[in-house]
Amino acid sequence: MTEHLIDPGIVEAHNRRNGDELAQDYEALAGTLSRRGIDCEAILARVSALEIAVPSWGVGTGGTRFARFPGPGEPADIFDKLEDCAVIQQLGRATPRVSLHFPWDDTAEMASVKARGEELGLGFDAVNSNTFQDRPGQKLSYKFGSLSHVDAEVRAQAIAHNVDCISRGQALGARALTIWLADGSNFAGQSHLAQAFERYVESVRAIEAALPDESWRLLLEYKNFEPAFYATVVQDWGSCLLAAQAVGRRARCLVDLGHHAPSTNIELIVARLIAAGKLGGFHLNDSRFGDDDLDAGSVDPFRLFLVFNELVDAAARKAWDEAPALMLDQSHNVTDPIESLLLSADAARRAHAQALLVDRVQLAACQARNDVAMAAETLRRAYRTDVTPLLAEARRRAGGAIDPVGAYRLSSYRKTVAARRPQSTGSGGGIV
């Protein structure tokens, strides 16, 4: 029996108060869609199956290099983080798995973390390694890189950390390791661009060889800049694809939406990685300038829709051997992280639902006859459809809240945990 941290009575009372209105809105939407020849129930079933992992580091208040202003009831350890993730799952019913980051989350034995997860109805998604920070007592520094470092001993240390993350993931029942690398340079000439990449690929091959079985995946995450400001070893999807192809079948590319130059056409990159059979997963968030790590769909929801449009189209064409893993990767500097993650999971499901409403037969016909206006309009018509009732009904049927943020605020969960958790102090710099 799953342990619920919010009194289910509060959710039931909330759903009773909002149930009639939702039923009317849902019926109206179903009517609109059936006039388009679309079965609303079929869409609801597919949307209900869309699961997004939440980042353990996302439930703490984020910060920038300038400052971090922690909110009340900050999670103090992995168990507090799991409880906050469980609240997001209890109310939103879209995020049944948590993605851990090491060493940030190695504050307990993995067996006890797994057991607590099970009590809370949570599983574990891709684990994340960290060779972009030095930790106390570490023998060799990552100041000048890790898996691509010129010194083989530093590379060996970084490889050992990744292999350790795999065994922690195995203990949790995870099936993937995500490797994001900060390795790069700030000045032309500082590092040999080709040799640094070769060293990286060689290191990733050693990590791939340590994967437990054929079902495991290595998710290689690229990023265009920061903390390196001249060249980043895995700077773009091309470098990432070259590495994934060089390492082998289990190595795939991970697309963090914030890791591109502002005007990049990300949905095109997604289409290319699908064509290469190397799209492994996503870190969903939103941005305007750099790696802003803002809430998914909060800046450019149309762009998020266009990414999901490529995924729905690929699924319809059976263009991949497995669907990409979806995860949120955000930094919540000024909002309650639980509210932001609830709204972001909803934004991802919204983009998916809208993409499922695209009339792909009409779209293909318009594309075939270069009817540009109607082709573009076919996409926009789906995007303009307000699927709010469908998302709420999916939550209600799954035992969640019709309005998860509304129910969350009614629960006073934040006030309750703030009373028992140590008040966290602010600091300059860093995500956690």
| Binding footprint of ligand LRH on the chain (CB under 6 A) | 57, 128, 180, 221, 223, 256, 283, 291, 329, 431
Q: Which stretch binds Mn ion (CB under 5 A): 38-46, 63-71, 281-289, 416-424?
A: 281-289
Binding site partner of 431, from ligand LRH, Mn ion, none, Cβ cut-off 5-8 A by kind: ligand LRH
Is 256 an interacting residue with respect to Mn ion (CB under 5 A)? yes
Helical axes 337-356 vs 40-48, angle rounded to 10°:
140
Is 260 an interacting residue with respect to Mn ion (CB under 5 A)? no
In which residue are the tokens 């995870």 written?
174
> Closest distance between ligand LRH and the C-beta of residue 256, in Å?
5
Name which position in 155, 283, 349, 350 contacts Mn ion (CB under 5 A). Answer: 283
- Which residue number has the CB closest to ligand LRH? 180
Is 125 an interacting residue with respect to Mn ion (CB under 5 A)? no
Nearer to ligand LRH, 182 or 274 (CB): 182
* Alpha-carbon gap, residue 29 to 23, rounded angstroms: 10
Binding site partner of 128, from Mn ion, ligand LRH, none, Cβ cut-off 5-8 A by kind: ligand LRH
Nearer to ligand LRH, 47 or 85 (CB): 85
Binding site partner of 291, from ligand LRH, Mn ion, none, Cβ cut-off 5-8 A by kind: ligand LRH
> Closest distance between ligand LRH and the C-beta of residue 285, in Å?
8
Sign of CA dihedral 229, 235, 127, 344: positive
- Contact letters (x/-) for Mn ion, 323-352, by CB under 5 A? ------x-----------------------
CB of 354 closer than 8 Å to CB of 387: yes
Q: Which stretch binds Mn ion (CB under 5 A): 67-75, 157-165, 278-286, 348-356?
A: 278-286
> Closest distance between Mn ion and the C-beta of residue 431, in Å?
10
Which residues are bridge partners to 68 per DSSP? 63, 427
Phi, psi angles (nearest 5°) of residue 354: -65, -40
Nearer to ligand LRH, 57 or 216 (CB): 57
Strands 184-185 and 231-232: antiparallel
Nearer to Mn ion, 330 or 354 (CB): 330
Strands 184-185 and 127-128: unpaired
Site of interaction with Mn ion (CB under 5 A)? 256, 283, 329
